[in-house]
Chains A and B, each alone.
Chain A
Amino acid sequence: MDDISISIKDRKGKIHSVSAPTDMAMNLMELVRSYEIEEEGTIGTCGGMAMCASCQCYILSSHKIKEMEDDEEAMLSEAFFVKDNSRLSCQISITKDLDGLEFEIAPPS
Chain B
Amino acid sequence: MIKTDILIIGAGPTGLFTVFEAGLLKMKCHLIDALAQPGGQCAEIYPKKPIYDIPGFPEILAGELVDNLMNQCKQFEPGFTLGERADKFKKLDDGTFIVSTNKGTKHHAKIIAIAGGLGSFEPRKPILENLQRYEDNGVNYIIKDPQKFKNKSVVIAGGGDSALDWTIYLADICKSVTLVHRRNEFRGALDSVDKVIELKNKNKVNVITPAEIIKLHGKEKLEKLTIKINNDLEKEISTDFFIPLFGLSPKLGPLSEWGLEIEKNAIKVDTFDYQTNIPGIFAIGDINTYKGKLKLILCGFHEATLMCQSAYKILNPGKNLILKYTTVSGVQGFDGTKKEAEKAVVKSINS
> Which residues of A does B touch, CB under 8 Å?
39-42, 45-46, 49, 51-52, 54, 70-71, 73-75, 77-78, 80-81, 109
Contacts and interface: CB of A to CB of B under 8 A. Distances in A.
A11 B118 CA distance: 21
Interface of B: 41, 45-46, 49, 118, 124, 126-127, 158-160, 181-183, 185, 187, 246-247, 249-250, 252, 264-266, 289
A46 B127 CA distance: 21
Contacts of A41: 118, 252, 264-266
B124 A51 contact: no
Contacts of A49: 45-46, 49
List 10 A-B pairs, minimum CB-CB distance, nearest first: A41-B265, A74-B187, A40-B264, A77-B183, A77-B182, A80-B127, A78-B246, A51-B45, A45-B118, A40-B265
Nearest to B186: A74
B118 A51 contact: no
Given A40-B264, A73-B183, A74-B159, 4 more contacts: A41-B265, A74-B160, A77-B159, A109-B127
B264 A39 contact: yes
17 contacts: A40-B264, A40-B266, A41-B118, A41-B266, A45-B250, A51-B45, A52-B249, A54-B249, A73-B183, A74-B159, A77-B182, A78-B158, A78-B247, A80-B127, A80-B246, A81-B127, A109-B124
A11 to B, nearest CB: 15
Contacts of A45: 118, 249-250
A73 B186 CA distance: 11
A94 B185 CA distance: 29
A39 B266 CA distance: 11
Contacts of A46: 41, 45-46
Nearest to B181: A77
Contacts of A78: 158-160, 182, 187, 246-247
A60 B33 CA distance: 41
B342 to A, nearest CB: 41
B190 to A, nearest CB: 13
Contacts of B185: 74, 77
Nearest to B250: A45
B236 to A, nearest CB: 22
A54 B183 CA distance: 20
A36 to B, nearest CB: 9
Nearest to A41: B265
Contacts of B46: 46, 49, 51
Contacts of B124: 80, 109
Contacts of B266: 40-41
Contacts of A39: 264-265
Contacts of A51: 45-46
Nearest to B249: A52
A77 B245 CA distance: 12
B247 A52 contact: yes
Nearest to A40: B264
A52 B246 CA distance: 10
Nearest to B244: A78
Contacts of B49: 49
B265 A42 contact: yes
A46 to B, nearest CB: 6
A33 B252 CA distance: 19
Nearest to B163: A78
Contacts of B250: 45
A14 B267 CA distance: 28
A41 B265 CA distance: 6
